Chain A
């Protein structure tokens, strides 16, 4: 129902740019402006700007914030420096996933969690359920707008607009500064596999910051990019999407999130279940695949064996503009997870061949600092 859908502060900007609008996580969002492939390639070759204001921002404050939060998340936040961002996950006791998120450490007593738009209320309720005395939990999602500027030219475009030396903000670090004179949390993070920045700004400043960056970006072929390009970019980069590639039915180990599960931590929700699963051995796992025939394998298509029996499913799939191939992620039985293993995917009634490939499909050359 349209009356219940939310708009970001930039909605009219998207309409002005002729964006196609869809409903996503309760918001009216731009899915594409012109061509998904062009927006995708713009990010890979130059830069793209995304309105990601629908994402959630939850603040954690308290004298024991670090101890408390470290029991809720799977990665080790004690290892974080201040002004560092860390990819993380919150798990159920069964080891399945509540959400994946970025944890921002302001200091030992203050953290910001950037969570998926579709999970804001669920995540907030989950944190409240585990709240302890002296821990403050504040959902500030409606107070912030968020822009992502991603691509090899992102730094060059933003450099003169930011009041602090941008090259001093290293990968997965952030700073509090100003963009075009407006207060912002500026982090060198992103969901595209390119260098880039995410800016957290107030809703009142969103339009002027957006317009200012677009204006500046004109000489650099900066393009506005929508949710469709955001999805094909993250998939190429091997990044997971909650709701597709993991949810409350998949454990963090099955989803391949081993690298953010720190078993050496004394305790965190889901640790025991994951330890058990690790000892018993996984029965299925998320893999990347490449189609060997024509077609696109989309979310929920089934993986079949040679007798046509259902053995798994596609969690995400698209056409990769950079690789010019159909790619995707799928849950398959553990015996099918080695790279180059052939798998069969039922694409609308026709069985097509695909092969398992290591993630990511695409990786940019890393900048040396």
Chain B
């Protein structure tokens, strides 16, 4: 699996793609594999504000539930309604159409605390 070079990653297996001051957030392909068949997603509302590391929702699979943690501080500006209706999109396309929320980034310097694609791949190789 190729982890997109232009994404940032967290140790909790979220990714964030930055476009200007906006970020698109999702969970990684590794995370969806660990979860198995995803059946429900709980997402925040537009307008909600979070700090980096705060839980913003959860993903429930047949066998378990996992929290989604916010990679950077900011305000939720869009929620992926399609994924809420078809949670299996996260299993089939975690890095693109399985995106979860869009966020207005409060402080871009927080991105420096995140992992790049190479560092993330190292992390998951160690976990396996």
- A interface residue numbers (CB < 8 A to B): 32, 35-38, 228, 232, 294-296, 318-319, 321, 326, 348
Contact = CB atoms under 8 A, between A and B. Distances in A.
A294 B38 CA distance: 12
B53 interface: no
Given A35-B91, A36-B37, A228-B62, 16 more contacts: A32-B36, A35-B37, A36-B36, A36-B63, A38-B37, A294-B40, A294-B42, A294-B60, A295-B40, A295-B60, A296-B39, A296-B40, A296-B65, A318-B62, A319-B39, A348-B65
Question: Which secondary structure characterizes the binding site on chain A?
Answer: mixed
Contact of B62 (A36, A294, A295): A36
B60 A37 contact: no
Interface of B: 36-37, 39-40, 42, 60, 62-63, 65, 91
A294 B36 CA distance: 18
A78 B63 CA distance: 42
A41 to B, nearest CB: 11
Contacts of A38: 37
- The listed residue with most A CB atoms (<10 A of its CB), out of B39, B40, B42, B65, is B39
A295 B39 CA distance: 8
Contacts of A32: 36
A43 to B, nearest CB: 15
Nearest to B58: A348
Contacts of A326: 39
Nearest to B87: A294
A37 B42 CA distance: 20
A232 B62 contact: yes
Nearest to A38: B37
B67 to A, nearest CB: 10
15 contacts: A32-B36, A35-B37, A36-B36, A36-B37, A228-B63, A232-B62, A294-B42, A294-B60, A295-B40, A296-B39, A296-B60, A296-B62, A296-B65, A319-B40, A348-B65
Contacts of A35: 36-37, 91
Nearest to A37: B37
A37 B40 contact: no
